[in-house]
Amino acid sequence: MGILVLKFGGTSVANVERINHVADIVIKKRKEGHSVAVVVSAMGAETDRLVELAQAINSDPHPREYACLVSTGEQVSMALLALALMAKGQKARSYTGKQAKILTDDNHRKARIIEMDVEHIKQDLDAGEVVVVAGFQGYNRRGDITTLGRGGSDTSAVALAAKLNADECQIYTDVDGVYTADPRVVLDARRMERVTFEEMLELASLGAKVLQIRAVEFAGKYNVPLRVLSSFEEGPGTLITYEEKNMENPIVSGVAYNRNEAKVTIRGVPDRPGVANHILGPVSSAGIEVDMIIQNISEDGCTDFTFTINREDYKATIDILERTASELGAREVLGDIKSRNYRL
Ligand code: ADP
Ligand code: ASP
Ligand code: MG
């Protein structure tokens, strides 16, 4: 059997119990006969804590020092996971980005990977070891630490999978796959079995942070099959690949190409916590299914909120939104039922 690259995000390695659980998942894959390389993120919200620390000390942290600081979270996780694996009898070895020879450009906050030399990692895998690589970090030609941008462990994992020619790159997270919209915001969003790289790029560029956009680009470029799945419960997750030829029933996600939708926008809403609920609550109580939603960055304390619904529900939604707009003191409600390809 071939190589699997497994990536575990922050919530999946948030504490000792979760790390032990991750070790169990890894060992299970080994028992099934796969060689396994793992990429880990920092524990829980550790990276946020480090970013805040930097900010508290210096409102404009120098990028070199910033990268040096915020990359430390991953080093903790990688060593802990290697230790957890060893405690369970599985040989393991952890690598920082530099040890894993992930060479990047000089952009310390959002570096791009230039090259990666995986010969030593391959040797470890051949020797039956599990390799654990710190996500999010690389180094530049000077030998300084760089980081790959927030959410960058996804890109570390895909790059490693591409270089190792892995059978699949599995992104374990706190949701059980890719949904038509963020399942934490849109409660009736649907999990998709399969998505193409193009569709996933579209979703990521609409703000679905389930995968870093660069990771999707990379996976598409090197044709690395990607799977998003939960580290909390077993399941098939969502497979992201090129569309298979001759698929009898091609499953179109309908994310950005649903031609049966209308778009509505409520503009100039005071940006307070809970505002999304205030807007979407009455819509969903009326039995109207919301598909894509997007909330713009707040300007002068106000935000614009756009979402799509089935064309049949257009009129009812506008009526509801007019009421909500006056309750919230929003500027106006706009609707669009004419265009058919929405890119929010
Ligand atoms: P990790 O720490 O594992 O990298 P992230 O927080 O970066 O996890 O990404 C997972 C989160 O992405 C989920 O908790 C979910 O709220 C959010 N998300 C946004 N859009 C989507 C989507 N379309 N499908 C699934 N999850 C999404
Ligand atoms: N720990 C980094 C972050 O929070 C990288 C990652 O999790 O992908 O952005
Ligand atoms: Mg992430």
| Greater pLDDT, 142 or 249 | 142
Do 308 and 260 meet the contact criterion of CB atoms below 8 Å apart? no
Taking the centre of ligand 3 as the mean of its atom positions, its distance from the CA of residue 213, in whole angstroms, is 10
* Ligand 1 pocket, residues with Cβ under 6 angstroms: 9-12, 41, 151, 173-175, 178-179, 181-184, 203, 208-210
Lowest-confidence range among 14-18, 179-183, 309-313?
A: 309-313
Per-residue model confidence as pLDDT tens digits over 153-192: 999 999 999 999 999 999 999 999 999 999 998 889 999 9
Q: Which fold has domain 261-343?
A: VC0802-like (3.30.2130)
> Which ligand minimizes its atom distance to the CA of 153?
2
Does the pLDDT of residue 44 top 50, yes or no? yes
Q: Which of 15, 21, 175, 291 to mutate to test the pocket of ligand 1 (most atoms within 8 A of CB)?
A: 175
242 token code pair: 């090129």
pLDDT bracket for residue 287 (50, 70, 90): confident
Residues with Cβ within 8 Å of residue 267, at least 6 apart in sequence = 304, 330, 331, 332, 333, 334
Residues with Cβ within 8 Å of residue 298, at least 6 apart in sequence = 271
Q: Which fold has domain 3-174?
A: Carbamate kinase (3.40.1160)
Taking the centre of ligand 1 as the mean of its atom positions, its distance from the CA of residue 323, in whole angstroms, is 32
Helix axes 275-285, 314-328, angle to 10 degrees: 140
Taking the centre of ligand 1 as the mean of its atom positions, its distance from the CA of residue 74, in whole angstroms, is 19
pTM: 0.76
Q: How far apart are CA 71 and CA 136, in angstroms?
A: 7
Question: What residue ranges do the domains of the chain occupy?
Answer: 3-174, 261-343
Q: How far apart are CA 6 and CA 3, in angstroms?
A: 10
Instruction: Please give the pLDDT value at position 340.
Output: 55
25 token code pair: 């998942």
Q: Which residue has the tokens 């304390």?
A: 301
pLDDT bracket for residue 255 (50, 70, 90): very low
Output the average pLDDT for the chain.
91
Taking the centre of ligand 2 as the mean of its atom positions, its distance from the CA of residue 199, in whole angstroms, is 23
Q: How far apart are CA 217 and CA 39, in angstroms?
A: 18
Start-end of H helices in the chain = 16-31, 46-57, 63-70, 72-87, 119-126, 153-164, 197-205, 213-221, 275-285, 314-328
Per-residue model confidence as pLDDT tens digits over 270-284: 988 888 888 988 998
* Closest ligand 2 atom to Cα of 153: 8
Taking the centre of ligand 2 as the mean of its atom positions, its distance from the CA of residue 64, in whole angstroms, is 17
